[in-house]
Every structure is written in structure tokens, then in C-alpha cells.
Chain A
Amino acid sequence: MKYLALVFYQEKIMAEMSQPQWDELNQECMQCVERLRKQSHFIDGNALESIETATTVRVRDGNVTVTDGPFAETKEQLAGYYLLDARDMNEAIQLAAKIPPARYGGVELRPVRELRLNDNSAGGKGKS
């Protein structure tokens, strides 16, 4: 089963680290990816640039509006993601606990939803 592990932390705390400290954490993340890849749990994943670089696109009535900044201002910011292959939620939790930034922020685990032609889950509960 596929789980998306969304990594969140306070960018402020990361910015306060010294360059060697920050580099060390990044190296740890590279090792984490390597380990997950070897165990065949790693499907995909990337770290993201800071939220200063974020742009949000919305389409309303056919008009595209583009705004500077993330979708929502939150205390912790999305820092990266891992797409994991895990047997079940318990294994996913164990894998997520080893993602290094989990020590500073948090990792949100979400099961991946398959897009189907009919009977899609997670929506469509209104009257037709």
C-alpha cells in the first residue's frame, strides 16, 4: 500500500541552525532515502525550497488567479515528501518515525487514493 509522508517543520527553526548543522541534517536525509530505497520502501520523494518560493494557483469561473505564498499560512511548513510503499499503517508509522526532520516538526501520513472511473472515495457525498 502506498502512503505519502508529508514532512513539516518550522522553517524559522531550520534557519536558526548553523550551516554545518543544517548540512548534517540534510546528509542524514540523504542517508534516510538511501536506506528506504534499499529496503524497497522508497517510491519517490523530494525536499522543497522554502515557502517564500511558493505560488498558489486557483481557477474560479474559468479565471486563473495566481497568488504569492502557500495555500494556507500554518505554524509549520511543508518541507518535503516521501512516497512510501508499506505493508500497512503500522509499518508506515515506523518508516515515518525514522525520517530525520520528524525530530523537529512532524510527518503527516496519508494513504494514497487511487483515481477510478466510478465510485471514487473521499468525496461525492452530496445529492445528485
Chain B
Amino acid sequence: METNGQNRIKQLYNESSRQILATLIRLLGDFDLAEECMHESFAVALKQWPEQGIPENPVAWLISTGRFKGIDQLRRKGRIIASENLDADISITTSVNLNDQQIRDDQLRLIFTCCHPSLSVEAQLALTLREVCGLTTEEIAQAFISKPATIAQRIVRAKNKIQKNNIPYEIPEAAQINERLRVVLQVIYLVFNEGYTSSTDTSHDQYHLTDVAVRLARKVVDLLPAAEAKGLLALMLLQDSRKRARVDENGDLVTLENQDRSQWNSLQIAEGCSLTLEALSQEEFGTYTLQAAIAAVHAEAPSSETTDWCQIEGLYEVLLRHEPSPVIELNYGVATAMCKGYEIGLEKIEAILARGELQNYRYAHAAKADLLRRLGKKKEAARSYRRALELTLQKKEKRYLEKRIAELSSNEKN
């Protein structure tokens, strides 16, 4: 019986501690106090539940217990410094609202506050991972190859800024919500990319940041089913679906073209594709949804030869209109090459390179090299691969480019 209670509490902690924290922050008006009281309420549960049984609504029980602990603390502090915490006193007297919608809204309040635009991106990341995702300072430090003390300080400063600047614990109003959601999604995608780019790098173990990002995006989609939130979740699922195929047994990168598609995760692909369609059917879809749509076209092709490059080219054209950028233009050029012919694509890419913005962008030279290789212009291709190699620091990418250069010169001798 006792272990049953303890297991249930452990499970509740994993599933609901963030939710409880989010509501306690609203009720107590203070991040640190809320966290302390959340832990205290779980401690009380560990003591009481095995004897008295599990309450009917355990989450509500944990929230009210935490709230009482908090009020108690504020009262005690009130005796020491009489005039402080006036605001908190007012919120104590108001009755506690614990309906499901409020609890859901509190989670959104927490997410939007952690991703407030007046906090630095680093602070948004650290705060979101700690408060919303429940990672420890040590785990965050490990994931971002930083010291726990640095991360801890960043979180303290961010909480300080929230308090000093009176950043409200609110869901943004309708007029602001799209812009504010953009910041939230940017934080989630940064977490994902941090996990994704370093997951091929064996030098340090990742704290599954890609999974953390996907879970967080799911939560946002559940709480606020906006098109771009769905689009981002879809994009991450589709990218993550190729995880096993994009590195070979030697740890070398495998390009999309050469990946073993049977290694792709079909469940993630199915979910990613259906989310993409859902997002596209909503009015306000944007760049994440369009990128997801491109990834979906790749994912649905049984082989690289059967990829519908012309559809991809069309999607890039729309994406470029949404977000004019030379990198997207480069990808658009590659899609044109695959749809309409290497020569036409090469012309486009050379024109982009001639403008200068991507002169030091390794993928631009690698893309040019790739098309030259396909056109049989080996010497020129090798020259462009070498330029890309000069600009690359990542070991895996270097090995990939060196292999390509070696292939070209051995073919030349034959």
C-alpha cells in the first residue's frame, strides 16, 4: 500500500509538478516561493497519503496545500517586515480559483512569462527549460556546455528582472499573441536545434533536448492550437524522424539523398504530415508550417529519385515570400535545379554567390559543388568543395567534404 502511494506521488510529480508550479506562481506572486511551496506540498503528500489515502483530486489538493504553505510563509515574513508583500497579501484574500481552464491558462502564463521579449534569449532558454520543462540547472548546463553556476545566475537574474520590471503573469492579449507566440516558438526551436546539431557530435552527451523541445511544443499546441505551433511541432517531428539514418556506423554524415529510408521513423512522419495539413488549413500559417510542408514532401517520397522536387520548389517560393533571406533563396535554387535542371539551378546559385552575402557560407559552396559534380564538371566541383571545406569547422562535415573531393580526383584518374 505504501509503495503504491509513493509511486502515485512520483508519477504525479513527473506529470503535474509544472502545472502545480504554474498555478502557485499566480496564487503566490513569486517564482521562488511557489517552487519552495510546491516541493513542500509534495513532502506533505508523501507523509499523509499513505496513511489517509489519496485525495479525490490530487492536483487540486497539492495546489491548495502549497498555497497554504505559501501564505504561512508570507505571514511569518510579514511579522518581520510589516509593509512588504502588500500585493501578495491582497492575492491571499481573494478566493482560490482552481477550475481546469484556470490551471490550463496558468501553464500558458508561465510559458509566456519565461519567454517574455524583454528577457535575453539565453535567459528565456534557461528559464523555460527550468520552470516549464522541469530540467535541473545541472542538466541545462550540461546541454549547453556551460557551468551550472552560470546557468543558475542567469535564472536568478531573469527572475529578478521579471519582478523588478513588473513583467505580468499573463497570457498576452489578442493583438499581441501572435508576436509573443513567435518568441515562444523561437525558444522551442532553439532548444531543438541545440539537441539536433550536437546529437551527431559524440563529444558530449545530450540531455535529449530534441525530446524536451517536442514535448514542450506538444504542450503549446494543446494549450494554444495556433497554426504555427502545429507547424513547428510537425517540422521537429519530421526532422527528428531521420535521426537514425543521418549518421552511418562510422559516425559520418549521410545526406538526405543517400539515407536508408527504412530507418526513418514512420510514426513521427505520419504525425508530422497530418499536423502539417492541419496547420496549412488554418489561416495564419507561416514559415514553420511551410518548412514542415517541405520536410513532409521529402518524408513521403519512398526514394530520393521519386521526390516531388517541383512541389518543393513551389513551397520554397512561398517561403521566400514569407521570409526573404539569402539562405532560403539558396535552398530554392537547389530545388529549382532538381525540378527544372541542374544548369538553371546552378545559374541561380551562382547569382546568389555573386551578390556576396553568402560568400562565406559553406553550404552555398557545397551546393554549387554538388550541382557541378552532377553536371560532370569535376575540376570546378572539386574547387567549390575545397572552398566549402575551408569554411567548415565541424569534424563530421569536414570528413564528408574530403570524401567527396577524393571521389572526384579518383574518378578523374580513371
Question: Interface of A with B (CB < 8 Å)?
Answer: 1, 87-90, 93-94, 109, 111, 121
Tell me if B324 is interfacial: C-beta within 8 Å of chain A. Answer: no
A1-B166, A87-B168, A109-B165 known; 19 other A-B pairs, CB under 8 Å? Answer: A88-B166, A88-B168, A88-B170, A89-B116, A89-B118, A89-B165, A89-B166, A89-B167, A90-B167, A90-B168, A90-B170, A90-B172, A93-B117, A93-B118, A94-B176, A109-B118, A111-B165, A111-B166, A121-B164
Chain B residues lying within 8 Å of A111, measured Cβ to Cβ, are 164-166
A109 to B166, CA, bound (A): 12
A93 to B116, CA, bound (A): 11
CB distance from A88 to the nearest CB of B (A): 4
Chain A residues lying within 8 Å of B165, measured Cβ to Cβ, are 89, 109, 111
CB distance from A105 to the nearest CB of B (A): 17
Question: Interface of B with A (CB < 8 Å)?
Answer: 116-118, 164-168, 170, 172, 176
CB distance from B117 to the nearest CB of A (A): 8
Can you name 26 A-B residue pairings with CB atoms under 8 Å? Answer: A1-B166, A87-B168, A88-B166, A88-B167, A88-B168, A88-B170, A89-B116, A89-B118, A89-B165, A89-B166, A89-B167, A89-B168, A90-B167, A90-B168, A90-B170, A90-B172, A90-B176, A93-B117, A93-B118, A94-B176, A109-B118, A109-B165, A111-B164, A111-B165, A111-B166, A121-B164
A90 to B116, CA, bound (A): 9
CB distance from A113 to the nearest CB of B (A): 8
| Pairs A-B, 8 closest by C-beta atoms | A88-B168, A89-B167, A89-B165, A88-B166, A1-B166, A111-B165, A89-B166, A90-B168
Find the B residue at minimum CB distance from A3: B165
Find the B residue at minimum CB distance from A93: B118
A111 to B116, CA, bound (A): 16
Find the B residue at minimum CB distance from A91: B168
Find the A residue at minimum CB distance from B162: A89
